Amino acid sequence: MNGEPKGKLALYWAASCGGCEIAVLAINERILDVDALFDIVFWPVAVDAKVHDVEKMADGSIDVCLFNGGIRTSEQEYMARLLRKKSKVLVAFGSCAHEGCIPGLANSTSRRRIFETVYHETPSTENTDHVEPQPSTAVPEGTLHLPVFYDTLRTLDQTVKVDYYLPGCPPEADRIWDAITAIVENNLPPPGSVIGAETTVCQECPRKRNEKKVKKFYRTWEIIPDEETCLLEQGLLCCGIATRAGCGARCPQVGSPCIGCYGPNEGIHDHGARMMAALASTIDSNDPEEIDRIIRDGIPDPVGSFYRFGLAASHLRRKKEAMIET
């Protein structure tokens, strides 16, 4: 690659925790190779380029933009549209951009309820003036602007067209490197693809599997699983059966059930629905009351268990306004 002009790389952080930013650094010294291959033209967490610098760039002048985070505010939407316009290849980087992730779980409530909780109800909050963030506020010095906080969190591809997806919360360093290599070597799958494996975590999991028959589900703190048998067969709600491989089955290998951060497998639209359909089939009872009890006692938070990462991208997308308690 010596002698060729350097590519242009941008990275951006929208509605997410920031873990994806750190994950980029988890490729360790290979970050130097990235620097050798690309000019990093925009990366607010690490590089001193401003939004107006991006605005001035020619459309399509950025070769690759790794965009992490979902779209919760008007500012994030603006940045998504801007970076889409300026980039040749837009990658939804990590679970939040890919399928909404934890911020997307807030789609089970509303902006109103979120504001109530955050600005009024938490025990440590004292807000006697009932102040809440407003898109514009008049002060003697002029008008202040804040981004609009949307009622629903959207994934990146529900906002702009996305070329590739890199799943994971966060994506594993090796998978990030695989993606960078694929980009550099121009060895990418067809646009719209997830860059990663096309099978599920079980493929990478060394635990011994039998036919699945579950009589009782346990929370992780309730049992110490044996080290050899499939966790799901031991009653731990392991989502590995329905979750795309690529992580190396790190969690189940250390006795912690897969929580599904790599999202659904290739060709599957609704991760939670898949997981539920499979799980329903493994419950070892034909008695409706017993089945009810097994589910009620063992899975107290179905949305959090099955849609922890994928609610915003699922067929459900959000809870109906009318069903949200106010």
Partner 1 sequence: MITSDETLRIGVYVCHCGSNIAGTVDVEALTKFAEGLPHVALARHYKYMCSDPGQELVKRDIVEFGLNRIVVAACSPNLHEATFRRAAEDAGLNRFLVQIANIREQVAWVTEDRQEALEKAESHLGAAVRRVARHVPLQRQFVRIVPRAMVVGGGIAGIQAALTLAEAGREVILVEREPSIGGHMAMFDKTFPTLDCAACILTPKMTAVKLHPNIKLLTYSTVESVEGSVGNFRIKVKRKPRYIDESLCVGCMQCIDGCAFTRAKFPNAFDQGLGLRKPVWIPFPQAVPPVPVVDPEVCLQIARGKCKQGCVEACGERNAFRFDQQERIEEYEVGAVVVATGFHAFDPSVISYYGYGKYPNVYTSLEVERLLNAGGPTSGKLVLRDGSTPKRVGIIHCVGSRDANYHAYCSRVCCMYALKLAHLVREKTEAEVYNCYIDIRAAGKGFEEFYNRVQNEGVQFVRGKVADITPAAGQGTSAEGGLVMKVDDTLLGSIREINVDMVILAVALEPQADANQVRRTFGISCSAEGFFLEKHPKLAPVNTANDGVLVAGACQGAKDIPDTVAQADAAAAKALALIDAGQIELEPNTAWIEEDICSGCKTCINLCPYQAIRADEERKIAVVDPALCKGCGTCVAACPSGAARQHLFGDEQISEELEGLMNYV
Judged by CB under 8 A, does residue 199 bind partner 1?
yes
- Helices and strands, number each (H, E), in the chain: 12, 10
The interface with partner 1 within residues 275-304 (CB under 8 A) comprises: 275, 277-278, 280-282
Q: Please report where in the chains the tokens 């919760």 appear, as a residue.
A: 72
Q: Please report where in the chains the tokens 């179905």 appear, as a residue.
A: 302
Task: Determine the interface stretch with partner 1 among 40-48, 89-97, 192-200, 292-300 (rule: CB under 8 A).
Answer: 192-200
Question: In this structure, are residues 314 and 272 in contact, taking their beta carbons and an 8 Å threshold?
Answer: yes
Task: Determine the interface stretch with partner 1 among 26-34, 64-72, 75-83, 234-242 (rule: CB under 8 A).
Answer: 234-242
- CA–CA dist 272, 255 (Å, integer): 22
Task: Determine the interface stretch with partner 1 among 26-34, 70-78, 177-185, 201-209 (rule: CB under 8 A).
Answer: 201-209
Which member of 19, 257, 264, 298 binds partner 1 (CB under 8 A)?
264
Indicate the residue among 109 and 285 with the shorter CB distance to partner 1. 285
Q: Where are the alpha helices (DSSP H) in 185-287?
A: 250-253, 271-282
Tally of CA atoms within 13 A in the half-sphere of 137 that contains its CB: 9
Judged by CB under 8 A, does residue 266 bind partner 1?
yes
Task: Determine the interface stretch with partner 1 among 97-105, 141-149, 156-164, 269-277 (rule: CB under 8 A).
Answer: 269-277
Q: In the bound complex, what is the minimum distance in angstroms from residue 321's beta carbon to partner 1?
A: 22
Question: In this structure, are residues 106 and 311 in contact, taking their beta carbons and an 8 Å threshold?
Answer: no
What lies within 8 Å, CB to CB, of 121 at 6+ separation is: none
Judged by CB under 8 A, does residue 265 bind partner 1?
yes
Helices 30-37 and 173-184 cross at an angle (nearest 10°) of 30
Judged by CB under 8 A, does residue 305 bind partner 1?
no
Judged by CB under 8 A, does residue 202 bind partner 1?
yes
Count of chain residues binding partner 1 (CB under 8 A): 28
Which member of 50, 112, 209, 293 binds partner 1 (CB under 8 A)?
209
The interface with partner 1 within residues 130-169 (CB under 8 A) comprises: none
Indicate the residue among 8 and 207 with the shorter CB distance to partner 1. 207
Judged by CB under 8 A, does residue 178 bind partner 1?
no
Indicate the residue among 171 and 264 with the shorter CB distance to partner 1. 264
C-alpha gyration radius of the chain: 22
Indicate the residue among 19 and 225 with the shorter CB distance to partner 1. 225
Backbone angles phi, psi at 25, to 5 degrees: -75, -15
Q: In the bound complex, what is the minimum distance in angstroms from residue 120's beta carbon to partner 1?
A: 41
Task: Determine the interface stretch with partner 1 among 6-14, 30-38, 142-150, 260-268 (rule: CB under 8 A).
Answer: 260-268
- CA–CA dist 234, 302 (Å, integer): 19
Task: Determine the interface stretch with partner 1 among 95-103, 115-123, 135-143, 270-278 (rule: CB under 8 A).
Answer: 270-278
Indicate the residue among 50 and 209 with the shorter CB distance to partner 1. 209
Q: In the bound complex, what is the minimum distance in angstroms from residue 259's beta carbon to partner 1?
A: 14
Q: In the bound complex, what is the minimum distance in angstroms from residue 306's beta carbon to partner 1?
A: 11
Q: Where are the alpha helices (DSSP H) in the chain?
A: 19-25, 30-37, 51-56, 74-86, 95-99, 101-105, 111-116, 173-184, 250-253, 271-282, 288-298, 302-306
Please report, to the nearest 10 degrees, the dihedral formed by the alpha carbons of residues 68, 70, 73, 77 taken in order: 70
Reduce the DSSP state of residue 213 to 3 states and report it.
Answer: coil
DSSP 8-class letter at 121:
I
By the criterion CB under 8 A, which residues form the site for partner 1? 198-203, 209-213, 230, 240-242, 245, 264-268, 274-275, 277-278, 280-282
